Amino acid sequence: MKMNKQKPCVLITGSSRGIGRACALLFASRGYHVFLNCRSHQKALSDVASKISSFPGGSCELCPGDVGDPGDVRKIFDFIRTSDYTDGGLDVLINNAGISHIGLLSDMSDTEWMRIVNTNLSSVFYCCRESIPYMVSRKKGRIVNVSSMWGQSGASCEAAYSATKSGVQGLTRALAKELAPSNIQVNAIAFGVIDTEMNACLSPEERESLAYDIPAGRFATAVEAARMIWDTAHAPEYMTGQVVGFDGGYL
């Protein structure tokens, strides 16, 4: 028999590291039951779960799987729908899973292209599609999509990444219009440079040069990014269809 739902529930894709990890810890510390997801970093995901379990009243469940694969996404949401902590679905969906690819577009293989499209863009579609029916039935829900400033301006040698993040922004704006009559808010955050493992490939000289170009003079932290996601997920209901910049003044 299911327990009575006592907490709001959130799924955070790509929550084993970086922004996703910081976001999971923040939501858990503020009373959410967190569904933790990642594709391959299972040890890191278990470490996040252990951290959450140490919080007073902290609760979470692991939902491993590739959110770029529609079959895996269906399994993840079957698990969420039958969890003792839900009454059938999510209160908040945070589409955070993402990968980068640096290199000339002409050198990119078909496999590399499809991997970044599936991970960064198709995953948002798959997870939204599974989340929406429950949210519509309740006339309530929040979806926050993690995008990038490169989805607005484009980045040399990151054409595929920029294209997927631009796609996330277009999907956000269109879906917000579709769901506004059902009182479901859909917004995206166009992050600038965040100090996570995604930027670990940068040399010290490249980091210094990039920080110099940012008016704020530094990279943002994953904790700052998580706070922005929290604020967006809890913004007034009238805020929907927005792509909010969080880039230290870069754009």
> Tell me: the pLDDT tens digits for 93-112?
999 999 999 999 999 999 99
**What's the pLDDT score for residue 198?**
76
Active-site annotation holds for 161: yes
Q: Is 135 within 8 Å of 180 (Cβ atoms)? A: no
- For the chain, the structural domain boundaries read 9-246
Q: Is 48 within 8 Å of 24 (Cβ atoms)? A: yes
Residue 87 phi/psi, 5-degree rounding, is -110, 30
Residues 39-61 have pLDDT tens digits of 989 999 999 999 999 999 999 99
pTM of the model: 0.95
Spatial distance between the Cα atoms of 83 and 77, rounded to a whole number of angstroms? 10
**What's the pLDDT score for residue 3?**
56
Residues 121-150 have pLDDT tens digits of 999 999 999 999 999 999 999 999 999 999
Q: Is 2 within 8 Å of 84 (Cβ atoms)? A: yes
Who contacts 127 (Cβ-Cβ below 8 Å, separation ≥6)? 11, 13, 67, 73, 77, 93, 95
Distance from the Cα of residue 86 to its chain's centroid: 20
Q: Which of 85, 161, 212, 238 is catalytic?
A: 161
Q: What is the mean pLDDT of residues 187-194?
A: 97
**What's the pLDDT score for residue 2?**
55
Strand order in the sheet with 184-191: 59-62, 33-36, 9-12, 92-95, 141-148, 184-191, 243-246
Residue 142 phi/psi, 5-degree rounding, is -130, 135
**What's the pLDDT score for residue 192?**
96
**What's the pLDDT score for residue 4?**
54
Spatial distance between the Cα atoms of 198 and 175, rounded to a whole number of angstroms? 28
**What's the pLDDT score for residue 203?**
84
- 9-246: CATH topology: Rossmann fold (3.40.50)
Whether 1 has a pLDDT exceeding 50, the answer reads: no
**What's the pLDDT score for residue 117?**
98
